[in-house]
Structure 1
């Protein structure tokens, strides 16, 4: 095969032959061969661009139905890319294998330069078509077709629903921000907890009712779904020396029958402060400040003696009823007070478990559910509303 026998249309067939078969023995003939290939590439690119631009016209102008195969242009573009740039049998690859590799040393430089220029032009122009009108055309066709079918594209689209923060998340964030301002940091722990951290390290003995499988979700004999966030107190004291001031927000799990005020999955915030010379007065002042910041300055607080294995002495904290002004109502059960959280001074047994010097350090701890304060603050009558995903309920918290 001689190069003079090939038209521009057939020039791409030359890449299947080596230069000796084509009669190419000097740079001048080689340049003519590459010039013909460049013209053929530009013809193919122009034809593809014309084909793509035709799809930008109105279907009515072209006399074709409004519904057009969106993949036609993309398929043609891919075929063009494979023809010139395909890794196995593309024209550029064939030139590399059949011309460049066996070429004499005096022609290799010229072939390499012309080949790189041809490859760059093919890559750049095909990429422009891929990223240009050919990609946008399908959307334009679809819009034009819809107009032909009578769709008024000036009408407003579907209204986007504006989301909002979940009330539990909102309450958690409010609680966290109040304690951040007091110098507390946030610690977290695993939902699946060992029996040691969930019970034993917190001075909860084996015969305690809380350890019964009627109250606790046991994974196996040594692991449970944590019944409170208190285990994080132990984990934190094991890795941190006093002073310690932390709060622990998170989920807890208990075998409660779901009703208006109980759920087997709920949220808690635990608090712990350990340092020298911490007293019950510090605990009272901290919680009084928190409850007034969360519920409002009009709220009164009351501490009642109680018992928890991990604190001594212990107390329950009540707030004045938010609904009746302490005159008595159904919410406060006619007492004028609403129980809100438990607290106390850290039991020295816990300090021994984490190797704190109980003669030097003292501390207080407290814990509260998040759902109960949220129900009181936002006026939610049923705890189950927090978990049902009812948009009619959640939209009220935008």
Structure 2
């Protein structure tokens, strides 16, 4: 019986199939459910014990040889067969590959990051699900502070600890100050959440970029020059103004306007005839915030600023409805191209 199997091994090694049908017939003969291998395995129980080892090894050799031969011939046949319709007419024109577009929010965010990276700001990120300390208390917004009413918050858990969706990326700045010693120069881009009604000018989900600079002898003049540099780089505008405002975590605080101009009808419409556009808030970091983050306010000072990416994108691309950013309309998204 062993000699018979060895004869089949020789037959396998000498087989040369030229077509798919020949290879399939060969496979069925040896490897099929009713093939020779199954017959030999069924005969194994009738083999004397002293011959079982040699018999089993010879069957396995036949099985491996047959499988290797089938794989070898199939690969050879595939290499010999040209796929029609793919390589048939090499002179035919190619099909254009459609290149995707970046989302306008991503384009503007990357532009802002690049501008501040050029003057030494790094990028810091943090969790979107925050606790009360990092989102409110550390930022000079203790419990029952009236300024908390300015931000309609999505709370996830209220006991034993308030867990919420962050309402600003200032929470990232708190975490960064806790983990890093001055000098600090960082921007924190990210998605934030407010429990607000959705309209053409507001949304419950939007994106911010907030900046923070802390070092010795940082002044309001440093803040103004930094923002002037930013507006020149992003908008090409060299005229800004700072109006007094209020933010719990900065003192003094200001709103930043740029002079957009009144050259077109659109300029009159978006600036309401004034020529000025508000783009962000800013101010000097409140000493209480520094204390909460274990930074000595007697030795260090700093400034912070923050802007909405959607608002900047709406200005740059003259988009009239913030909801368009979230509808995933391909016709809208295809309009935006960028290498950033």
TM range (shorter): 0.7 to 0.9
CA drift of 1:299 comes to 3.4
Alignment of 1:342-357 (within 5 A): 342-357=281-296
Q: In structure 1, what is the equivalent of residue 19 of structure 2?
A: 50
> Could you tell me how far apart the structure 2 residues matched to 1:290 and 1:123 are?
68
- Helix, strand or coil for the counterpart of 1:305? strand
Q: In structure 2, what is the equivalent of residue 270 of structure 1?
A: 210
Aligned counterpart in structure 2 of residue 169 of structure 1, from 100, 106, 113: 106
**Structure 1 contact 320–326 (Cα < 8 Å) conserved:** no
Alignment of 1:83-94 (within 5 A): none
Aligned counterpart in structure 2 of residue 182 of structure 1, from 103, 109, 119: 119
**Structure 1 contact 198–226 (Cα < 8 Å) conserved:** yes
- Helix, strand or coil for the counterpart of 2:209? strand
Structure 2 residues without counterparts, runs of 5 or longer: none
Name which of structure 1's ranges 388-397 and 222-231 shifts more when overlaid on structure 2.
388-397
Q: In structure 2, what is the equivalent of residue 371 of structure 1?
A: 310
Name which of structure 1's ranges 131-140 and 277-286 shifts more when overlaid on structure 2.
131-140
Q: In structure 1, what is the equivalent of residue 196 of structure 2?
A: 256
**Structure 2 contact 169–208 (Cα < 8 Å) conserved:** yes
- Helix, strand or coil for the counterpart of 1:204? coil
Q: TM-score, normalised by structure 1?
A: 0.71
> Could you tell me how far apart the structure 2 residues matched to 1:299 and 1:78 are?
81
- Helix, strand or coil for the counterpart of 2:334? helix
> Could you tell me how far apart the structure 1 residues matched to 2:270 and 2:123 are?
32
- Helix, strand or coil for the counterpart of 2:229? helix
> Could you tell me how far apart the structure 1 residues matched to 2:101 and 2:291 are?
45
Aligned counterpart in structure 2 of residue 236 of structure 1, from 164, 176, 199: 176
Summarize the Cα distance change of 1:260–1:93 in structure 2 as closer, same or farther, 3 Å threshold: same
CA drift of 1:246 comes to 0.7
Q: Does 1:227 align with 2:167?
A: yes
> Could you tell me how far apart the structure 1 residues matched to 2:200 and 2:292 are?
38
CA drift of 1:330 comes to 2.0
Summarize the Cα distance change of 1:188–1:103 in structure 2 as closer, same or farther, 3 Å threshold: same
The answer to which structure, 1 or 2, has the higher relative contact order (CA under 8 A, 6+ apart) is 2
- Helix, strand or coil for the counterpart of 1:291? helix
Summarize the Cα distance change of 1:51–1:258 in structure 2 as closer, same or farther, 3 Å threshold: same
Summarize the Cα distance change of 1:345–1:173 in structure 2 as closer, same or farther, 3 Å threshold: same
> Could you tell me how far apart the structure 2 residues matched to 1:164 and 1:85 are?
57
CA drift of 1:127 comes to 1.8
CA drift of 1:135 comes to 10
CA drift of 1:313 comes to 1.1
CA drift of 1:321 comes to 1.6
**Structure 1 contact 83–91 (Cα < 8 Å) conserved:** no
**Structure 1 contact 326–336 (Cα < 8 Å) conserved:** no
Q: In structure 2, what is the equivalent of residue 122 of structure 1?
A: 66
**Structure 1 contact 305–315 (Cα < 8 Å) conserved:** yes
CA drift of 1:217 comes to 1.2
Q: In structure 2, what is the equivalent of residue 199 of structure 1?
A: 136
CA drift of 1:121 comes to 3.0
CA drift of 1:178 comes to 0.6
CA drift of 1:283 comes to 0.8
Paired residues in the alignment total 333
**Structure 1 contact 77–130 (Cα < 8 Å) conserved:** no
Please report the RMSD computed on the Cα atoms of aligned residues, expressed in angstroms: 4.0
Alignment of 1:1-398 (within 5 A): 22=1, 32-41=3-12, 46=16, 50-52=19-21, 81=31, 102-103=49-50, 118=62, 120-133=64-77, 160-209=97-146, 211-212=148-149, 215-221=152-158, 222-296=162-236, 298-322=237-261, 324=263, 329-398=268-337
CA drift of 1:183 comes to 1.0
Q: Deviations over 1:122-161 (max 9, x none)?
A: 2322222444536998976xx7xxxxxxxx9x99798654
> Could you tell me how far apart the structure 1 residues matched to 2:259 and 2:32 are?
78
